[in-house]
Amino acid sequence: MQTNRFHTLDALRGAAAIAVMLYHAGADSPLVTARGYLAADLFFALSGFVLANAYEARLAAGMSVSAFFKARLRRIYPMFWLGALTGYLLWPGSVLVFLMIPTPSEGGMLFSNNVPLWSLLFELVVNLAWAQLAINLPLRRLAIVLTAAGALFLPFVFIEGHADLGAFWSTALIGLARTCFSFTFGVILFRLFKRSGSVRQYGARGWLLLPLLIAILVPATNVRALADAATLCLALPLIVWLGARWEVSSGALADRIGGISFPLYCIHAPIIALGRGSPATIAIMCGVLVAVAMLFDRFYDRPIQAWFRRITGAARRDSAMLA
């Protein structure tokens, strides 16, 4: 098993992407995830944990911020572009979406033809800020960053009555604070995990976290703001912490489940919108989207990332030879 790969966290990404898809299907969904928007916050926290694991030592050893940014752009942009193309073909709008540039729209959304793309843009911004500013911060100062982001974001959860904030221009700054909050939480969890000795227990119980995540996101509640705040501050961090420690024994299966997350997240929203009003159509669409996401993962995203690794590896070798 790869000790630097967290397979349970991979599987959680897949479950989270499915929860977001079911949330955007609305009342027609075969399983209504009333608070499925919080799966985006799990993505942010997982990103913080995984990027700290993958890049913190490299950045500390001298990796440039520009090299880090290029690596993140190579990872995010190909699937972002596919999501932008899907949205543009089905719900034409501004071509600036292909450049990851949000534009004013009639509904006030940053990306009106594919709403979830806002979170990828904000994650990239927060990733860059982390590499530039926060990489050398000790744990206590990271806690200050977390507190500051929470102080900006969490009051609006109670003002608006929910944490589904960031997709509209009117809540863009709040969404950026939301992204920073959960991402920083993920970085802190990694620091604590590393400090605790990186103890990992292998077995089947890591799989229990997937239905637990869905169970947290399904129920509607009359105190949604309070439930959202508790989920953001307690439940999701706990799931990430346990997911890092409870390593599933079947890494290949977890990898496949996690593999659908990025394609599914990027393409589902504009397609799901076509089937609203028909539960049967939505159910079929959900199944087809998962299958299509598997294909995009295998025949689009993985080959592109492998190609990037080859060309960047060749560039590094050429630079070393010239040196």
Identify the pLDDT of residue 132. Answer: 93
At which residue do the structure tokens 């997937």 appear? Answer: 210
Question: What does the pLDDT look like over 250-268, one tens digit per residue?
Answer: 789 999 999 999 999 999 9
Range 108-135 average pLDDT: 95
Total domains in the chain come to 1
Q: How far apart are CA 161 and CA 166, in angstroms?
A: 14
Q: Considering the domain boundaries, does residue 303 fall inside one? A: no
More confident residue, 152 or 200: 152
Question: What does the pLDDT look like over 19-71, one tens digit per residue?
Answer: 999 999 999 999 999 999 999 999 999 999 999 999 999 999 999 999 999 99
Q: Considering the domain boundaries, does residue 320 fall inside one? A: no
Identify the pLDDT of residue 3. Answer: 52
| Residue 318 pLDDT greater than 80, yes or no | no
pLDDT bracket for residue 312 (50, 70, 90): confident
> pTM score, two decimals?
0.95
pLDDT bracket for residue 15 (50, 70, 90): very high
Q: Considering the domain boundaries, does residue 317 fall inside one? A: no
Q: Considering the domain boundaries, does residue 11 fall inside one? A: yes
| Residue 1 pLDDT greater than 50, yes or no | no
pLDDT bracket for residue 317 (50, 70, 90): low
Q: Considering the domain boundaries, does residue 136 fall inside one? A: yes
Identify the pLDDT of residue 314. Answer: 61
**What is the torsional sign of CA 143, 144, 147, 149?**
negative
Q: Considering the domain boundaries, does residue 314 fall inside one? A: no
Q: Considering the domain boundaries, does residue 306 fall inside one? A: no
Identify the pLDDT of residue 2. Answer: 41
pLDDT bracket for residue 88 (50, 70, 90): very high
Identify the pLDDT of residue 313. Answer: 79
Question: What does the pLDDT look like over 127-172, one tens digit per residue?
Answer: 999 999 888 899 999 999 999 999 999 999 999 999 999 999 999 9
- Widest distance between CA atoms in the chain: 65
For residues 225 and 27, the answer to whether their CB atoms sit within 8 Å is no
Domain range holding 198?
Answer: 7-297
At which residue do the structure tokens 């450049």 appear? Answer: 99
Q: Considering the domain boundaries, does residue 78 fall inside one? A: yes
Range 293-310 average pLDDT: 96
| Residue 195 pLDDT greater than 80, yes or no | yes
